[in-house]
Amino acid sequence: MTRPEIPFSTEDHRWMRRALAVADQALFVSSPNPRVGCVLVRDGRWLAEGSTQRAGGRHAEAQALHEAALEGVDVRGATAYVTLEPCSHTGRTPPCADALIAAGVARVVVALRDPNPKVAGTGIGRLRAAGIQVDVGLFADDALAQNPGFCARMTRGTPWLWLKSASSFDGRTALPDGRSQWITGDAARDDGHRWRARSCMVLTGIGTVLADDPMLDVRAIETPRQPIRAVLDTQFVLGEQARVINGDPVWIFTARPDAGKAARLAARNVRVIALPADAHGGLSLEALMRWLGEHEINEVHVEAGARLQGALVQAGLVDEWVAYLAPCLLGEGQGLAALPSPITGLDQAYRYEFLDVMQLGRDMRLRLREPARWRALVGACGLKTG
């Protein structure tokens, strides 16, 4: 647990919890911006609240001030509870720190300092220079957990990546002939679509596209936006009639781009991106992650076969697993991850930490996190554990 910089009151805890809940409203909409919530309070009374809108729209603080203005609420002397440090630079929108100063708030409670190098404490500094009391660190861990992708992109230059898998409890994702519909039930599949919806990108390999012809979009739940769908296709063999090509944005990563084919696909909203090959002739996964970070991708949801998942694991690029486990045995079949290099001792095992377990219908959802990568992110964001 991260220790806050100062002791906070019971009321502070109450309202920051509310701000975190408000930030959840931005789960499916804010990308590439972080999910932020802001609650305005005076004398223990709620005044207004807001969450981050679509990119180019209002940030949480501006949205809360806008809602207050619509209701004719004077926020002078109020406390603003904000889950991420107010921005101090002009990007798609004006600085939120300036908006809070202009509104006349007396105090700002911040959960997490913004790891964006364009902010990184300058928002807090600007507020304090204007005579506003700023207290930092309340529920910082929770704010980081809401935004691992944004914080990862800002501190290490690459997105947060999780693998989604659905398997029998003996670890089989398909029968030997590749059939896998359906190992898990409706509730697990619907939950999987929620994880698709919160991501910036759903990524798969060409093997999965050739075998299953998936659409990779969000269908089981309502969502205000669809994530970008992407395919790793080293040899650029994707068929032009694949179901994934439906007019919504699709990115194809390849080592062998074909200008004519790329032009035909571009007319159907498909972007073809050339990446270098690795030493084994496949796409460089490290180059892929760097490219995604440079192009404002915060969170990557991978639904792929054992080969790609194993390659990502062995490359050390997996931050998290979202694993659905069905109460059945398949015996011989396809596994979760085909590691390119075999493990010859238990000391070489790839180890994760369980985050939570949830029952969904007859199935279970397990969330696991790679501990070293999480600790590195925590440290990069200036948090201490203990």
- Positions marked active-site: 61
Helix axes 122-129, 96-103, angle to 10 degrees: 20
Dihedral-angle region of residue 34 (phi above 0 means left; psi in -120 to 50 means alpha; beta otherwise): beta
DSSP E strand stretches across the chain: 37-42, 45-51, 79-84, 107-112, 133-136, 160-168, 201-205, 228-232, 250-254, 270-274, 299-302, 320-326, 353-360, 363-369
Written as six digits, the tokens of 143 are: 């704010």
Dihedral of alpha carbons 98, 103, 106, 110, sign: negative
Q: For residue 270, give the nearest of 302, 303, 233, 300 by alpha carbon.
A: 233
What Cα–Cα distance (Å) separates residue 262 from each residue in 232, 282, 333?
15, 20, 36
DSSP category for residue 18 = H
Written as six digits, the tokens of 121 are: 């404490």
The number of residues in the chain equals 386
Written as six digits, the tokens of 34 are: 């972080």
